């Protein structure tokens, strides 16, 4: 009787394992919710593209403006830029810079580098933050801070936009009513650079 009980228990255990394995494989065979949604998005995209394909251009105004930017800033080393800043009270000030202002988000090096990592049983590759030229690690969270070189003194100037301050950039001085009485914020004044 004791042997029969052990055999029945063993058979039931094998059946339970078999049913459990088949249930797992049935669950594994079902597409996940994420897979279903991805397929729905892809299907919808293909259907919309078939109904409304992207039009083609005979002329690209965006490329034309990019070329204008290149012609404006990329032909003359040290070209002056005129930065007009407005504070929360509506007052204007200005910087005259040699070259364009640059945001802290700009880097001379790629912000990420590929590296090998241990991912458990196997090794893999991933992208990690790369160090800057100054040996530090920066994030792209400081995009509202700008800096440049004062046109006559070569002094470093920096400012932030947002938080009630905005700026306008021009390739030449602007004789506009709102800029009358604008205060020089750097060493270079408009009279220093008039031709």
Task: Supply angle C-alpha 30, 32, 38, rounded to 5.
Answer: 125
pLDDT digits (tens, 9 = 90+) for 151-165: 999 999 999 998 788
pLDDT of the residue at 115: 82
172 lies in the same domain as 85: yes
Q: What is the mean pLDDT of residues 5-31?
A: 61
pLDDT at position 7 over 70: no
90 lies in the same domain as 17: no
Separation CA 109–CA 136 (nearest Å): 12
In a domain, 119, yes or no: no
Domain region containing 169: 79-105+140-193
145 lies in the same domain as 99: yes
pLDDT digits (tens, 9 = 90+) for 126-176: 777 777 767 777 766 678 889 999 999 999 999 999 878 899 999 999 989
Decide: residue 59, CB within 10 A, 0-12 exposed, 13-18 middle, 19+ buried.
exposed
Q: How many whole angstroms from its chain centre is CA 125? A: 22
Separation CA 36–CA 51 (nearest Å): 23
Separation CA 36–CA 42 (nearest Å): 10
pLDDT at position 104 over 80: yes
39 lies in the same domain as 97: no
How many domains would you assign to the chain?
2
Task: Please say whether the beta carbons of 102 and 146 come within 8 A.
Answer: yes
pLDDT of the residue at 10: 63
pLDDT of the residue at 162: 85
Q: Sign of the C-alpha dihedral, residues 103, 104, 109, 114?
A: negative
pTM for this model (two decimals): 0.67
Separation CA 112–CA 188 (nearest Å): 37
pLDDT of the residue at 79: 95
Strand partners, 156: 149
Task: Supply angle C-alpha 77, 83, 85, rounded to 5.
Answer: 165
99 lies in the same domain as 21: no
Decide: residue 84, CB within 10 A, 0-12 exposed, 13-18 middle, 19+ buried.
buried
In a domain, 178, yes or no: yes
pLDDT of the residue at 142: 76
11 lies in the same domain as 94: no
Q: How confident is the model at residue 125 (pLDDT cuts 50, 70, 90)?
A: confident
Torsion of CA 15, 21, 22, 27, to 10 degrees: 150
Separation CA 19–CA 13 (nearest Å): 10
Closest CA to 184 of 90, 38, 85: 85
Q: How confident is the model at residue 9 (pLDDT cuts 50, 70, 90)?
A: low
145 lies in the same domain as 185: yes
């Amino acid at each position: 009787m004791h042997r029969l009980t052990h055999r029945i228990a063993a058979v039931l255990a094998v059946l339970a394992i078999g049913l459990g394995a088949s249930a797992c494989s049935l669950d594994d065979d079902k597409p996940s919710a994420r897979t279903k949604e991805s397929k729905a998005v892809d299907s919808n995209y293909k259907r919309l593209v078939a109904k409304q394909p992207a039009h083609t251009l005979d002329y690209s105004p965006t490329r034309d403006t990019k070329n204008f930017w290149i012609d404006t800033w990329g032909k003359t080393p040290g070209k002056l830029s005129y930065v007009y800043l407005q504070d929360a009270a509506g007052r204007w000030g200005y910087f005259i810079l040699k070259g364009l202002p640059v945001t802290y988000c700009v880097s001379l090096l790629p912000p990420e580098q590929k590296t090998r990592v241990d991912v458990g049983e196997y090794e893999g590759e991933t992208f990690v933050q790369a160090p800057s030229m100054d040996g530090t690690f920066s994030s792209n969270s400081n995009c509202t801070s700008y800096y440049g070189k004062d046109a006559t003194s070569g002094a470093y100037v920096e400012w932030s936009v947002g938080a009630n301050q905005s700026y306008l950039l021009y390739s030449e001085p602007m004789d506009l009513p709102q800029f009358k009485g604008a205060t020089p914020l750097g060493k270079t004044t408009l009279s220093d650079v008039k031709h």
